């Protein structure tokens, strides 16, 4: 499970920001878990709110970058390749400094802290600690790296196996954790596995890349779960039909070329190309007759919901962390509320799955919403005059009543995290535009319109 995520100098996240899923209150009605031998409780969901360009997407993209670096720095990044980080752009000194990423996670009942710092060319530092509870919490060093060279790696006594021999394969631009997993180090492969198998990142506004999850499930005995959630969303769909399309060599090569352009640092996955080349028809039953409608002819909301179903079901079945950018994209607020409730409700979430998402959907904060978000599950992003993002928990603010007060307070801007509109600027714009196009100004506005010119 994910306990905390910290990041600094990534996109608009200039200074270190922390997102925590550690519960601050008791929530007996939520799917809260205690994944380690401790009193620490972990939340099933966290929502990030903020105005456009406030940095809420950057926070989740930073989590995705960390995942990609762990999974691909050794085998996917070339020996001389630059590190594809996205540092803070509005300060030249900060831009040249390393970007830092760190997670606290629970794996097999043990609390680990893993992190690294990278610049545009090399890994500057990397560390892995575990925490053991005796009379007090004790931090054990598994390894620490203080520079690009493999000789800078120091190992703790609790890390067993071929640790030094594996270190010789580390490049300046690759993470030791990635190299260790590629060489089957038993302890470190478990930590690597959390990033590779226990976390799914999704941009809900671009559903196509995530279709293979759902298409795969819809072709297995688990297809009934996909159909049930489609029907639950009241989309009028009674069945799904898939028909693989035959790709000739020329079309396959073109498809692979497009994938290579999208991600030049990674070898295109032919399996993904084949799965994506599938005709999908949704079957609608209307007045006793069945009609097939191709996926591409369905509404944006239907396509988005369908693409999300596979990752949702995978996360719930295997206790994974599902990270979704713009969860409300194309979806009705009531449907988003139901989706969040799948993770919140212990009846459905029995394996400790977690949902981390950002959204503009203020209805989720309403007492009418089934999402039941608590104050320690809500985070707010703001952008300051330097273009830097600040992330704050809703618990930093006093809320007199329950969710109703949170809902009203958010819409009124009491906690920030919303766009601030300059009504004076809007009035100037309309007056200027009206005057430029020669329309007669409103009565009493001639002087004002003249001053604007």
361/302 Cα distance (integer angstroms)? 18
User: Which pLDDT score is estimated for 204?
Assistant: 82
Angle at 186 between CA 180 and CA 189, to 5 degrees: 55
Mean pLDDT of 94-120: 96
The proportion of the chain whose per-residue pLDDT surpasses 90, expressed as a percent, equals 52
List, for residues 335-384, the tens digit of each pLDDT value: 899 999 999 999 999 999 999 999 988 888 888 888 999 999 999 999 99
Mean pLDDT of 311-340: 91
Q: Which two tokens stand for residue 13?
A: 């996240």
Residue 439 reports pLDDT greater than 80: no
pTM metric for this prediction: 0.83
452 pLDDT band (50/70/90 cuts)? Answer: very low
For the ranges 313-317, 343-347, 395-399, which has the lowest average pLDDT? Answer: 395-399
User: Which pLDDT score is estimated for 328?
Assistant: 84
Number of neighbouring beta carbons within 10 Å of residue 76? 16
Largest CA distance in the chain: 84
Contact 353, 319 (CB under 8 A): yes
The whole-chain average pLDDT of the chain stands at 85
Mean pLDDT of 11-33: 96
Residue 218 reports pLDDT greater than 70: yes
Mean pLDDT of 266-278: 54
Residue 303 reports pLDDT greater than 90: no
Residues 6+ apart with CB under 8 A from 384: 390
Q: In what order do the strands lie in the sheet with 239-244?
A: 239-244, 278-286, 289-294
435 pLDDT band (50/70/90 cuts)? Answer: low
More confident residue, 296 or 140: 140
The HSE-up count of residue 150 (CA atoms within 13 Å, CB side) is 14
Q: Which two tokens stand for residue 271?
A: 């399996």
User: Which pLDDT score is estimated for 448?
Assistant: 44
For the ranges 9-23, 396-410, 432-446, which has the lowest average pLDDT? Answer: 432-446
Tracing tokens 């993904």 back to the chain, one arrives at 272
User: Which pLDDT score is estimated for 349?
Assistant: 95
Mean pLDDT of 418-426: 51
Residue 428 reports pLDDT greater than 80: no
Residue 262 reports pLDDT greater than 70: no
282/293 Cα distance (integer angstroms)? 5
Q: Which two tokens stand for residue 385?
A: 């005059």
List, for residues 158-184, the tens digit of each pLDDT value: 999 999 999 999 999 999 999 999 999
Contact 55, 381 (CB under 8 A): yes
283/307 Cα distance (integer angstroms)? 17
User: Which pLDDT score is estimated for 176?
Assistant: 98
């Amino acid at each position: 499970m994910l306990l905390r995520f910290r990041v600094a100098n990534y996109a608009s996240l200039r200074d270190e920001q922390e997102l925590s899923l550690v519960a601050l209150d008791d929530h007996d009605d939520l799917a809260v878990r205690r994944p380690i031998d401790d009193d620490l409780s972990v939340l099933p969901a966290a929502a990030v709110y903020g105005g456009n360009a406030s940095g809420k997407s950057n926070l989740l993209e930073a989590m995705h970058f960390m995942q990609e670096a762990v999974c691909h720095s050794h085998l996917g990044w070339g020996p001389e390749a630059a590190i594809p980080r996205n540092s803070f752009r509005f300060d030249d000194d900060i831009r040249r400094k390393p970007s830092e990423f760190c997670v606290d996670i629970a794996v097999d009942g043990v609390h680990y802290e893993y992190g690294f710092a990278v610049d545009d060319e090399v890994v500057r530092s990397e560390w892995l600690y575990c925490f053991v509870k005796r009379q007090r919490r004790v931090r054990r060093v598994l390894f620490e790296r203080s520079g690009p060279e493999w000789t800078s790696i120091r190992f703790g006594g609790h890390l067993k196996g071929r640790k030094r021999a594996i270190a010789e394969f580390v490049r300046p631009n690759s993470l030791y954790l990635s190299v260790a997993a590629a060489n089957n180090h038993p302890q470190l492969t478990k930590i690597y596995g959390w990033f590779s198998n226990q976390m799914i990142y999704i941009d809900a506004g671009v559903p196509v890349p995530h279709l293979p999850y759902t298409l795969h499930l819809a072709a297995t005995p688990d297809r009934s779960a996909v159909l049930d959630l489609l029907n639950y969303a009241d989309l009028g769909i009674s069945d799904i039909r898939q028909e693989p399309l035959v790709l000739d060599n020329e079309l396959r090569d073109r498809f692979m070329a497009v994938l290579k352009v999208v991600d030049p640092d990674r070898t295109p996955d032919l399996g993904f190309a084949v799965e994506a080349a599938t005709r999908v028809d949704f079957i609608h039953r209307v007045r006793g007759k069945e009609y097939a409608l191709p996926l591409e002819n369905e509404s944006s909301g239907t396509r988005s919901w369908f693409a999300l179903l596979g990752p949702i079901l995978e996360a719930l079945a295997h206790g994974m962390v599902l990270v979704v950018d713009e969860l409300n994209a194309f979806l009705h607020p009531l449907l988003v509320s139901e989706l969040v409730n799948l993770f919140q409700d212990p009846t459905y979430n029995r394996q400790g799955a977690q949902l981390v998402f950002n959204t503009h959907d203020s209805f989720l904060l309403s007492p009418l919403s089934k999402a039941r978000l608590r104050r320690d599950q809500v985070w707010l992003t703001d952008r300051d005059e330097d273009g830097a993002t600040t992330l704050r928990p809703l618990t930093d603010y006093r809320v007199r009543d329950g969710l109703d007060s949170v809902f009203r307070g958010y819409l009124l801007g009491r906690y920030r995290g919303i766009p601030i509109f300059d009504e004076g600027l809007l009035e100037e714009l309309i007056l200027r535009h009206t005057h430029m196009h020669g329309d007669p100004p409103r009565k009493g506005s001639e002087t004002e319109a003249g001053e604007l010119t």
